[in-house]
Structure 1
């Protein structure tokens, strides 16, 4: 196994990508959005953190979190969240032999992508990436039309215009 090391910085802000193990034709996260929201609440009650932005796609999610002072442990939070969600979902997914030996479900990819946000420009770029993601993946033509996104909260606060992302105001060229 690869010796994979993460950095941990208290009170830091992080961009995350978390994927389901079986992504092809999988709609689980949006079909079970209420259970996923409950899993987020479950974790936040036990290990507080702030969700700056989030988008839930059918087979993956992106979010930006800020951890509290003196706390750098985002990995445990993801472990609790993925475990809680997995326990409330009916079984039926394919489970590999290695996952079976570890008594794991087969819902989530074991790892996740974490990127330390280093400045305001980095934060803004990742915020835009999160909100553009449903358009990028062809789920909607306008950012505002995707219901499982913090974009609506930012429109209500006047941070983004409701027309952002479809009137030439933004064009993303980044891969996932």
Structure 2
């Protein structure tokens, strides 16, 4: 059976991208910087909004919103992964070949996925609170008024179907 992606122009999507063999090469700030720079380079040529993101040592989760005229998130991921591979000091391959995507359906689905993203470092035992993880959009979300700074001391009510990690 062939997997079919749900391409929607101007769509909002949740992604899970995993490192090859779950190697934790994203554990160092220099490697996270390479990924961030790759995303900036791709965004210049193929715009998209990063609504939320968390980068963990062996995977990342993010929510993107694409421009109204564009649906090609696969191109963006291919370019980001390739750019990181060209600039990384780690042995190849760096990434699993595919990624998992979910089309955000409504405001509740959006909120659930943002909660999942921001709580993920706590879920995996890296930190005690979301605010303690450095590679997350959580602090931006606090500044925007989406969360109080002390959010996440207890697990949020998130659907068990979210994540696919």
Q: Scaled by the length of structure 1, what TM-score is found?
A: 0.86
Cα distance, 1:3 vs structure 2: 2.0
Q: State the partner residue of 2:110.
A: 123
Q: State the partner residue of 1:78.
A: 77
Q: State the partner residue of 2:55.
A: 56
Q: Scaled by the length of structure 2, what TM-score is found?
A: 0.91
Q: How many residues align?
A: 160
> Where does 1:1-176 land on structure 2 (aligned, <5 Å)?
2-24=1-23, 26=24, 28-31=25-28, 32-92=31-91, 105-166=92-153, 168=154, 170-172=156-158, 174=160, 176=165
Determine if contact 1:15/1:63 at 8 Å carries over to the other structure: yes
Using a 3 Å threshold, how does the CA distance of structure 1 residues 62 and 11 change in structure 2: closer, same or farther? same
The CA RMSD measured in Å over matched residues stands at 1.6
Which runs of no fewer than 5 residues in structure 1 stay unpaired?
93-104
Runs of 4+ in 1 over 2 A off after TM superposition: 168-176
Distance in structure 1 (CA, Å) of the matches to 2:10 and 2:159 = 30
